[in-house]
Structure 1
Amino acid sequence: MAFHSSQRIAELAVDAGAKKAFMRAEHALLLGFLGGAFIALGFLLDIRVIADLPKEWGTFSSLLGGAVFPVGLMLIIIAGGELLTGNMMALPIAVLAKRATLAQLGRNWLLVLISNFIGAIFVAYFFGHIVGLTESGPFLTKTVAIAQAKIDETFIKTLISAIGCNWLVCLGVWLAYGADDIGGKILAIWFPIMGFVAIGFQHVVANMFVIPAAIFAGHFTWADYIGNFIPVVIGNAIGGGVFVALIYWTVHKDSLQLSSKAKSSIKKAS
């Protein structure tokens, strides 16, 4: 199974970030809705798989939940979708390579944040609340317990957890850029995403599903959600923008600059 070098992945990440920077607003919103919904569906699957497992299984249930959750990112990468946390790596590396501007980064992040929230809330409300998939028996208990654990963390613990989360999520996206075939992309996505879920790190889009699902069931408040959202979105941005985009750009910036110059020369010649 062939794969690209880290240097080539960096070039592909810059190209992806540049394309996202110029994406039409309506496309970003539609694909962002799908991205939020896909992550929410992955989390819903996680809850439905592990909620009724025996307590004696301990942390093995976390591994099982982590094993099914990655379907969300697989759908985004392969079928198509926009995810805020992945864009927290792709847009910064494009900005660093001077293929996008900070204004374009801010525009993309805002559009995708809003549409990811709408997609995640859609799944939480219609599938979780109306259908009742997160509001009966052990499924309600598990949903509330997960949301409670996320809300109860201090600001600094939540922020650091969110850094760890998007470090792994963006590495999953990074590795997916390194594969050309579907099987390779699935394997590349599966391990890092399984890791962050099994560890219990905080992901801003996943939390857009599970905390509102608990709120719709009569637990917690929107103020509790906002208190979690702020440190998680900051931490996720650091995890993707610094621990992946900045580090790999620093390592590969010379080759990225040469690649950009070569592309500019080809465009001028044509």
Structure 2
Amino acid sequence: MGDIYGFDAFSPKQIAEKVDSIGVVKARLPLLSMVMLGILAGAFIGLGALYFVLVKSDASFSFATGQVLGGLSFSLGLLLVVVAGAELFTGNNLLAMAWADKKITTSELFNNWVVVCGANFIGATGLAVLVFLSGHTELNQGAIAEQYLKIAEAKCSLPFWTAFFRGVLCNVLVCMAVWMALAGRSVIDKSVAIIFPISAFVAAGFEHSIANMYFIPLAMLINVFGETGGSTVAESVTLLGFIGNLIPVILGNLVGGSVLVGFVYHVIYQRGQTPSKPEDK
């Protein structure tokens, strides 16, 4: 039990065992459940991003204050994923641990990543369309729309390797938030574990692939159909710019979550133990 640490929480060794067992369940979810939960996660992260932009659109904040408060607001996304229940690609990079322990197959691992990432895309972009149609971006005299354009332009202009390494650092913190949330037994425990790593990655300006699936499509809609359409404010916010951001960020998220968190903890806690063989498919 976790009380060896003086508080009611699971120990790191127990978390590693939970990550393995949860990974098996996640990898073998029925397809419809996996897709629907993935759509929810994409929308949940989008809601966190919406909250972040609302804070950032207030020009009265200093840079650090706006970043930190925005990061705290963005934490809503992972709180919804963990507490309400959903399948998030970046968090599911931890399935690499169950794969390394030979508890799921390579095909199960990649099937989960591809399906969940695609479903996250549907949820995040779908929310972007709804938010645009709602007129939300016109609030604060259009400052919210301008903030989306500014954010998306910065993301679409990132060099490949800058986006990649920002993706790596982002998902180290995201997966550590998920890891620590598994130590908690209550919603309050999980919330505290999530808020600090998530607010840190957002404040630092790191890159989250699923959040970008909300930010950039919404900026594209504003750029084309909003009042700023046709201007040069966000000329880099295009489909090619979107793809150019997603590819390195997804790759960076994969490395950060699966290698620097999942594989590292596999080596520390699980390597050398007798694995249970995955079921033949």
**In the aligned structure 1, how far is the partner of 2:13 from the partner of 2:88?**
23
SS in 1 for 2:137: coil
Asked if the contact 2:101–2:271 (Cα under 8 Å) also holds between the matched residues in 1, the reply is no
Residues 1:188 and 2:193 are matched in the alignment:
yes
Q: Which of 205, 217, 238 matches 2:210?
A: 205
Counterpart amino acid of 1:164?
A: L
1:76 maps to 2:93: no
CA deviation digits over 1:30-77, x for unaligned, max 9? 00000000000000011112202315x222100110011111111111
Q: Using the alignment, how far apart are the partners of 1:228 and 1:118 within structure 2?
A: 17
Deviates more, 1:211-220 or 1:181-190: 211-220
Match for 1:130: what amino acid?
Answer: L
Partner of 2:240: 223
TM-score, with normalisation over the residues of structure 2? 0.88
* Residue matched to 1:95: 99
1:249-268 alignment runs, 5 A limit: 249-254=266-271, 257=273, 260=275
Show the counterpart of 2:226. Answer: none
Q: Does the aligned pair in 2 maintain the 1:134–1:213 contact within 8 Å?
A: no
1:125 aligns with 2:142: no
| Counterpart check, 1:134 vs 2:137 | yes
Match of 1:143 in 2: 148
1:214 aligns to what SS in structure 2? helix
Structure 2 unaligned segments of length 5 or more: list them. Answer: 1-6, 224-233
The structure with more helix, counted as a fraction of residues: 1
> Which of the numbers 236, 242, 248 marks the counterpart of 2:259?
242
**Residue correspondences, number:** 258
Q: Matches of 2:218 and 2:259 in 1, distance apart?
A: 31
* 8 Å Cα contact 1:45-1:68 kept in structure 2: yes
Between the aligned partners of 2:71 and 2:81, the Cα distance in structure 1 is 17
Cα RMSD for the two superposed structures = 1.6
User: SS of the counterpart of 1:53?
Assistant: coil
Whether the 8 Å contact between 2:157 and 2:241 is mirrored in structure 1 is no
Moved over 3 A (4+): none
Query: Which residue identity does 1:123 align to in structure 2?
Result: L
Letter in 2 for 1:100: I
1:12 paired with 2:14, answer no
Q: Deviations over 1:228-263 (max 9, x none)?
A: 0100000000000111001000011258x25x56x9
Structure 1 Cα separation of the partners of residues 192 and 159 of structure 2: 34
Tell me, in whole angstroms, the C-alpha distance in 2 between the residues paired with 1:8 and 1:181. 16
Q: Percent identity?
A: 38
| Alpha-carbon shift at residue 135 of structure 1 (Å) | 4.6
